[in-house]
Amino acid sequence: MQRIAKTNPSSDSPVRNVLNFVDGAFVPAMGGRAFDKRSPVNGALIARVAEAGRDDVDAAVGAARAALRGPWADLALQQRCDLLYGVADEINRRFDDFLEAEVADTGKPVSLARQIDIPRGAANFKIFADVVKNVPGEVFETPTPDGAGALNFAVRAPVGVVAAICPWNLPLLLMTWKVGPALACGNTVVVKPSEETPQTATLLGEVMNAVGVPGGVYNVVHGFGPGSAGEYLTTHPGVDAITFTGETRTGAAIMKAAADGARPVSLEMGGKNPALVFADCDFDAAIEGTMRSCFANCGQVCLGTERVYVERPIFERFVAALKEKAEAMRLGSPADPGTGMGPLISQEHRDKVLSYYRKAVEEGATVVTGGGIPEMPEDLAGGSWIQPTIWTGLSDEAAVTTEEIFGPCCHIAPFDSEAEAIDRANATKYGLAASVWTTNLARAHRVSARLETGIVWVNSWFLRDLRTPFGGAKQSGIGREGGVYSLEFYTELKNVCIKL
Ligand code: NAD
């Protein structure tokens, strides 16, 4: 059965039939349930997606459990890594298929997905194959009374069946950021993609089959959170560990589910990330970086900036320059190379973001630019378009300056001292990322050390090296992923003591 087929191949209807992927086969939900997926660009129905029930999740977890003991477990490390290199190559070979599916689901500009989402989706398999092959071990020589001694060494064993619960903002990239290391470490996975972005995870099933990854190693179940596939998967007793990326409140619910059976969780959650712009910065670089960090992917990046603190001497100039850039950004069809920003993921999400746009005004903000819905041509009018928006004049206690909005918007506030900027940046329950713009090296070190976040970028934003630790402090996350840090979650470190 095809994983993504036109429901009616003889018509021009672009509506696709997106299936679950269980034990190497594309299957509809056993109960026959399916839900609609609409285009964020124009609101058109683009897919009917199989909605997994308890039985489907049970079958997927069962297949993953069986595969742990099957040919997958018998592969030598090099063979497993070769399969993952093959997955990366096959994603690249089918680059255009992944690009088309990702853009259809998200509405993001093709230029962005071409540069970030799809290449990173492939790279995540390669980097973690490299990591597991090169991770060094430790040996302790232990004296014993008979003088012969013992050797202690630690080996890494897979944790077992991993459930991966994924968000919609960077669907392939963030899903493979989990699946890559999980498989490299010898686990099997059941992925629950976001209901908003079902296609690329499903397409990856075709890649797994083409490359020869054994059935059951990679499984996909579609659906929602509570009362649907997300809940069924995270509460399933056959799941050994849960890795999650999404909202903090969802992460807390998943942590509760994981408490049954005392299963480990890795949580990558929300943020309210600050940018600190000092008067001694490279002004143009700070504007360019802040533009990207506020508006890239229509502001739907967990690492994105929603609070900008600018040192008072350059405050007015900074606000004016960011306004000019924001107003020059083109909203439009993802396929148009001139498009700088696409729509939000859904009408529902737009309602949420617009509620903050209204709240900003109620809270007394000055709307520097934006604040509403843009006029779009008729063929795009049904999409979830929104204006890039900048505010000033709010207090640090306002809802708009404290709660994660996840849209193309930021509040800019002036500050007068380094200590004040740090205190205000840290005055949040979140702690994912921060960016600091300064040409003073000592200040860069001082400020980075005092920021309560998992990631600090100095004179840059979203400059990623996949070997580095990635994750959030405070309520932005639990655990670190990336490079060898992913091994802490995806393996059990087992000590073997050999008496000589
Ligand atoms: P979300 O929490 O609404 O959903 C994420 C996933 O969880 C979806 O697959 C959803 O179906 C599932 N889910 C929802 N409720 C569930 C439940 N009770 N049990 C099991 N599964 C459940 O998040 P989203 O709206 O898809 O993504 C946006 C959020 O993700 C933002 O808060 C953003 O900051 C965060 N995010 C964080 C990172 C990071 O690395 N820290 C990266 C990307 C996105």
Give the domain CATH number at 76: 3.40.605.10
Ligand 1 pocket, 353 CB below 6 A? Answer: no
Q: Catalytic: which of 195, 268, 363, 481?
A: 268
Does residue 188 sit in the same domain as residue 108? yes
pLDDT at site 4: 52
Q: Where are the alpha helices (DSSP H) in 135-220?
A: 171-184, 199-211
Indicate whether 122 and 145 sit together in one domain: yes
Cα 361 to Cα 240, 354, 398, distances in angstroms: 47, 11, 11
Enclosing H/E stretch for 16: strand 16-18
Residue 7 lies in a domain: no
Same domain, 408 and 492: no
Name which residue sits closest to atom 28 of ligand 1, judged by CA: 246
Determine, yes or no, domain membership for 314. yes
Q: Are residues 241 and 385 in the same domain?
A: no
Alpha helical stretches, state H, 185-228: 199-211
Instruction: Tell me which long-range contacts 44-47 makes (C-beta under 8 A, separation of at least 24).
Output: 44/14, 44/382, 45/15, 46/14, 46/15, 46/16, 46/104, 46/105, 47/4, 47/15, 47/16, 47/17, 47/18, 47/198, 47/199
270 CA → ligand 1 middle, Å: 8
Predicted confidence at residue 11, as pLDDT, reads 37
Residue 384 in domain: yes
User: How many whole angstroms from 393 Cα to the centroid of ligand 1?
Assistant: 31
Torsion region of 227: left, alpha or beta (phi above 0 gives left; psi -120 to 50 gives alpha): left
Nearest-CA residue for ligand 1 atom 17 is: 225
pLDDT number for residue 39: 98
* Whether 481 and 437 share a structural domain: no
477 CB near ligand 1 (under 6 Å): yes
Is residue 6 assigned to a domain? no
Whether residues 337 and 415 fall in one domain: yes
Hey, which of 235, 245, 301 would you mutate to test ligand 1's pocket, going by the most ligand atoms within 8 Å of its Cβ? 245
Report the atom number in ligand 1 closest to the C-alpha of 254.
19
Task: Please state, as a whole number, how many other Cβ atoms lie within 10 Å of the Cβ of residue 382.
Answer: 17
The ipTM of this complex is: 0.96
Domain assignment present for residue 10? The answer is no
- The alpha carbon of 269 and the centre of ligand 1 are apart by a number of angstroms equal to 7
Sequence-separated (6 or more) residues with CB below 8 Å from residue 438: 276, 278, 280, 281, 444, 447, 458, 459
**Amino acid 9: pLDDT:** 34
Q: Does ligand 1 come within 6 angstroms of the Cβ of 396? A: no
Supply 392's token pair: 């000033």
In this structure, are 141 and 282 located in the same domain? no
Mutate to test the pocket of ligand 1, among 165, 405, 476 (most ligand atoms within 8 A of CB): 165
Residue 245 inside a domain? The answer is yes
Beta carbon of 254 within 6 Å of any ligand 1 atom? yes
Ligand 1 centroid vs 446 CA: distance in angstroms?
Answer: 33
The CATH number that applies at residue 383 is: 3.40.309.10
- Does 3 fall in a domain? no
- Quick check: is 247 catalytic? no
Return per-residue pLDDT of the chain as tens, 500 residues: 344 544 333 334 579 999 999 999 999 999 999 999 999 999 999 999 999 999 999 999 999 999 999 899 999 999 999 999 999 999 999 999 999 999 999 999 999 999 999 999 999 999 999 999 999 988 999 999 999 999 999 999 999 999 999 999 999 999 999 999 999 999 999 999 999 999 999 999 999 999 999 999 999 999 999 999 999 999 999 999 999 999 999 999 999 999 999 999 999 999 999 999 999 999 999 999 999 999 999 999 999 999 999 999 999 999 999 999 999 999 999 999 999 999 999 999 999 999 999 999 999 999 999 999 999 999 999 999 999 999 999 999 999 999 999 999 999 999 999 999 999 999 999 999 999 999 999 999 999 999 999 999 999 999 999 999 999 999 999 999 999 999 999 999 999 999 99
Task: Determine how β-strand 16-18 pairs with β-strand 4-6.
Answer: antiparallel
Please check whether residues 141 and 174 belong to one and the same domain.
Answer: yes
Task: Express the helix, strand and coil content of the chain in percent, nearest 5 each.
Answer: 40, 25, 35
Give the count of domains, the chain. 2
481 lines ligand 1 (CB under 6 A): no
Please tell me if the CB atom of residue 136 comes closer than 6 angstroms to any atom of ligand 1. no
CB 187 within 8 A of CB 162: yes
Say whether both 70 and 156 belong to one domain.
yes
Residue 246 lies in a domain: yes
| Same domain? 94 vs 177 | yes
Our answer on whether the CB atom of 169 is closer than 6 Å to any ligand 1 atom is yes
Nearest of 54, 56, 53, 48 to residue 22 by alpha carbon: 56
Ligand 1: which of 37, 239, 250 to mutate, most ligand atoms within 8 Å of CB?
A: 250
Ligand 1 midpoint to CA 320 (Å): 34
- Tell me the CA distances in angstroms from 180 to 2, 58, 334, 431, 487, one per residue in order: 24, 23, 28, 25, 11
Asked whether 131 lines ligand 1 (CB < 6 A), one says: no
- Indicate if ligand 1 lies below 6 Å from the C-beta of 356: no
Label the pairing between strands 150-158 and 139-142.
antiparallel
Domain that holds residue 489: 16-269+476-499
> Exposed, middle or buried, 497 (CB in 10 Å: 0-12/13-18/19+)?
exposed
Residues 106 and 243 in one domain: yes
Residue 165 CA, ligand 1 centroid: distance in Å: 8
Q: Are residues 325 and 372 in the same domain?
A: yes
